[in-house]
Amino acid sequence: GAVVSQHPSWVICKSGTSVKIECRSLDFQATTMFWYRQFPKQSLMLMATSNEGSKATYEQGVEKDKFLINHASLTLSTLTVTSAHPEDSSFYICSARGPRGGETQYFGPGTRLLVL
């Protein structure tokens, strides 16, 4: 139980394009999902908290107009990197708060983004 998927697993795009990443909870409903970014050899950095049916809460320093988050259903949250630039190249990982609203977070497999 508590399986989280992400799509795509890899994406390469040109500078200036937008990229959408999907995060799905497969066997449970997730009212809260999280989006993290991880640069090589660095720790996870929380970008935003996504709550179903409401606006995402962004961490300090994360541009909400650049990283658009939508959590339209209890099993799906999306992150759109708008007008991506090479410095946005990173490993983007989502997680979902566990079944029955527990505090444990279950992570998706991650999406590696390379912006050329």
Partner 1 sequence: QKEVEQNSGPLSVPEGAIASLNCTYSDRVSQSFFWYRQYSGKSPELIMSIYSNGDKEDGRFTAQLNKASQYVSLLIRDSQPSDSATYLCAVNFRSGYSTLTFGKGTMLLVSP
In the complex, the smallest distance separating the C-beta of residue 103 from partner 1, rounded to whole angstroms, is 5
Write out 30-71 in H/E/C secondary structure.
CCEEEEEEECCCCCCEEEEEEECCCCCEECCCCCCCCEEEEE
User: What's the min distance (Å) between Cβ of 48 and partner 1?
Assistant: 10
Tell me which residues in 28-47 interact with partner 1 (CB under 8 A): 32, 34, 42-44, 46
Structure tokens at 115: 């912006």
For residue 100 the two structure tokens come to 């029955």
Find the shortest distance in angstroms from Cβ 40 to partner 1. 10
Task: List residues near partner 1 by CB under 8 A.
Answer: 32, 34, 42-44, 46, 49, 93, 97, 101, 103-110
